[in-house]
Amino acid sequence: MDTEKTTPVIMVKNLAARFGENVVFEDVNFEVYKGEILVIVGASGCGKSTLLRIMIGLQKPYKGQVLYQETDITRAEEKELNRYRQKIGVLFQSSALFSSMTLKENIELPLQEYTNLDSVMITDIIKMKLGMVNLAGFENYYPSELSGGMKKRAGIARAMALDPRVLFFDELSAGLDPVTAAELDELIIKTNEALGATMVIVTHELESIYKIADRVLMLDKEAKGIIAEGRPRELKERTTDPRVRSFFLRQRPATSNEQRFYGS
């Protein structure tokens, strides 16, 4: 990791999330560094998407802080949250494009809401963003006219509309074929290199993790928190935690009876 990628952009401190009496995670602490691609992994139900929603400011934690440039997102008033949202871009699993709007109209929304740019400048920005995701000329297409991969790329273009400093992606490759998923991985890498944008990505796709991640955080449902942090290949090759090994090696963890039988 280079020098720039050791400068914290976001700091998460003592974070906990609950739904009623159900503790999703607690005492979660980590930093997101400038320009890095941080990937959050873990089995279903461990709280990956919940953590992402708290970091975006869409959900309040049970306790703890998410600090962005000394602003605590978890306690910010709506005015402060709006300023924060202008500095981040978000793409959820569904791409969240408005089906009744063209790609041009979808990307226009944040530009019209948060800037005073004239229509000519907005049109130029839309063309540039679509060009960056290999969708040049698709301004007047509706989401229903696009493939799954194209929708994801259009969602990335909209997420980048305001030149955000941080991009958040939730299960970017979900539902895509391997070739399309690999193309998205390449796009993520190129975007990171071209814009220097910090990225926080939730995924369970191992090939994507190895290809794009500078650093990985692994959450565990039973531990209710982070059980591993580091470069993906180092976690695969050096960890002694059976939960981490089973994830990165795609192996089912041995049950207690199996461990006794095999003497492990």
Angle at 156 between CA 155 and CA 159, to 5 degrees: 90
Q: Are 18 and 195 in contact (CB under 8 A)?
A: no
Instruction: State what percent of residues in the chain have pLDDT above 90.
Output: 71
pLDDT digits (tens, 9 = 90+) for 195-246: 899 999 999 889 999 999 999 999 999 999 999 999 999 998 888 899 998 8
The per-residue pLDDT for 14 is 97
Q: CA 27 to CA 16: how far, in whole Å?
A: 6
Q: Are 202 and 49 in contact (CB under 8 A)?
A: yes
- Measured from the Cβ of residue 20, the count of other Cβ atoms closer than 10 Å reads 5
The answer, yes or no, to whether residue 93 has pLDDT greater than 90, is no
Domains of the chain as residue ranges with CATH = 4-87+164-255 (3.40.50.300)
Q: How far apart, in Å, are the Cα atoms of 177 and each of 147, 148, 149, 181, 182?
A: 11, 9, 9, 6, 9
What residues contact residue 80 under an 8 Å CB cut-off, 6+ apart? Answer: 71
Half-sphere exposure of 125 (CA within 13 A, CB side): 22
The answer, yes or no, to whether residue 66 has pLDDT greater than 70, is yes
The per-residue pLDDT for 262 is 36
Strand order in the sheet with 198-202: 88-91, 166-170, 198-202, 37-41, 215-220, 225-230
What residues contact residue 20 under an 8 Å CB cut-off, 6+ apart? Answer: none
Q: Are 144 and 117 in contact (CB under 8 A)?
A: no
The answer, yes or no, to whether residue 261 has pLDDT greater than 50, is no
Cα torsion through 41, 219, 50, 40, rounded to 10: -30
Q: CA 156 to CA 23: how far, in whole Å?
A: 32
pLDDT digits (tens, 9 = 90+) for 153-199: 999 999 999 999 999 999 888 878 889 999 999 999 999 998 899 99
